Structure 1
């Protein structure tokens, strides 16, 4: 209800600020580097990283500095890792569902997702967000045989330097609501876990130059926490 009232009261201001941000914030490219690879030795682990521009590594210079590359480095000492990155700038959950359905069927042990920011800015409703995430989980488990899904929380958008007030408050409030829904979805589904990323993950000094995307230090923290969860879950299932 508060978002509906805020939209009505602040609609013209939010719209104007949104347009300004799209014009003023530099459009950073997705970094160069491999989107699939193998590393390490030990027990086999097939990992899929999927999602939006953050999953694609925007804010890093190379994929080695981005989430997928840092995950590969962190997991290689424990596993014989085969990893794949399926991500693109602007992806909503609905976009990723469409992309997954077009992918050849394959098998993965674990998935790390990064979705939600574009759902928030695209004004997707909470009910539609819940349904899309539930459908995403179902597709990953049925079509790709995933045993463990890490649903990454949304970043603290209320702290994004690139966003002026009251737009920052508005999208930040929506992002927190999306997170609460995502945590409940994860708790209700076997094989799913909510990967909460703390506010330190968006320290302004560690963000990319656009004030909107993670920088390499944030990707490193994200990869470290995801690795800890994956190792723990894989140990429990062997």
Structure 2
């Protein structure tokens, strides 16, 4: 289990935008180097633009569900006012067989908390969809119903998309990218489950594109 919680306060410093990344193994980048997860690659991409991003503060642990992430946010006593906040959470709710209505309620609370951490600025919050682990070698070896996994991932994503859009926040769908791993194993880490740095690079590129559009529109 990897826990990452770097300690940057929630205000812009030295002309750089502050970034908070919330999630689980997909946010810390389980099974890849720490500088190759999607938050770090996003920061690297932004370094070539007119907006510089500080090293991300990452609060995430492999295996966390929505409720566990909420508890960690409470414990971290985060300061409001982050310029950019990303949220990617829910795969472990699905993996553990938790029901959709509980996920909806907990995800909605996380969205409201995330928006607060962004100082109430909707343009600062970016929700990322849950990847589909049902197409990975790990899933095939698990003996679970692969079609059911994918169907349930779609159902959880339908919930988080709706809740995100109801609040007028940005939603980035990386699930189709994750499904490319079925025929391209270079998109997976050596553990046969988590994304490789190559897949994270694709996610970081999508995030950077959306963030840049929002920042430029606000000028």
Question: TM-score w.r.t. structure 1 length?
Answer: 0.77
Alignment of 1:58 with 2:34, yes or no, is no
Measured in 1, the distance between the counterparts of 2:48 and 2:112 equals 31
Corresponding residue to 1:141 among 115, 136, 140: 115
Alpha-carbon displacement from aligned partner over 1:146-196 (angstroms, at most 9, x marks no partner): 522211111123312211354322222111101111111111003x12110
Q: What's the secondary structure of 1:132's corresponding residue?
A: helix
- In structure 2, stretches of 5+ residues that fail to align are none
Between structure 1 and structure 2, the one with the greater Rg is 1
- Quote the residue 1:197 is aligned against: 174
Matches within 5 A, 1:98-113: 98-106=71-79, 107-113=81-87
- Quote the residue 1:15 is aligned against: none
Matches within 5 A, 1:135-214: 135-145=109-119, 147=121, 148-164=124-140, 166-190=144-168, 192-202=169-179, 203=181, 204-214=185-195
Alpha-carbon displacement from aligned partner over 1:72-96 (angstroms, at most 9, x marks no partner): 1011223232221111111111111
- Quote the residue 1:97 is aligned against: 70
- Quote the residue 1:218 is aligned against: 199
Task: Give 1 or 2: higher strand fraction.
Answer: 1
Alpha-carbon displacement from aligned partner over 1:197-236 (angstroms, at most 9, x marks no partner): 1433342332012221001101111111111111111222
Q: State whether residues 34 and 63 of structure 1, in contact with CA within 8 Å, keep that contact through their aligned partners in structure 2.
A: no
Give, in angstroms, the shift of residue 145 of structure 1.
1.5
Aligned residues between the structures: 205
Change (3 A) 1:135 1:186: same
Matches within 5 A, 1:15-164: 30=2, 35=6, 44-60=16-32, 62-78=33-49, 79-82=51-54, 83-106=56-79, 107-145=81-119, 147=121, 148-164=124-140
4+ residue runs over 3 A deviation? 33-37, 41-44
Measured in 1, the distance between the counterparts of 2:203 and 2:101 equals 27
Change (3 A) 1:228 1:36: farther
Question: TM-score w.r.t. structure 2 length?
Answer: 0.84
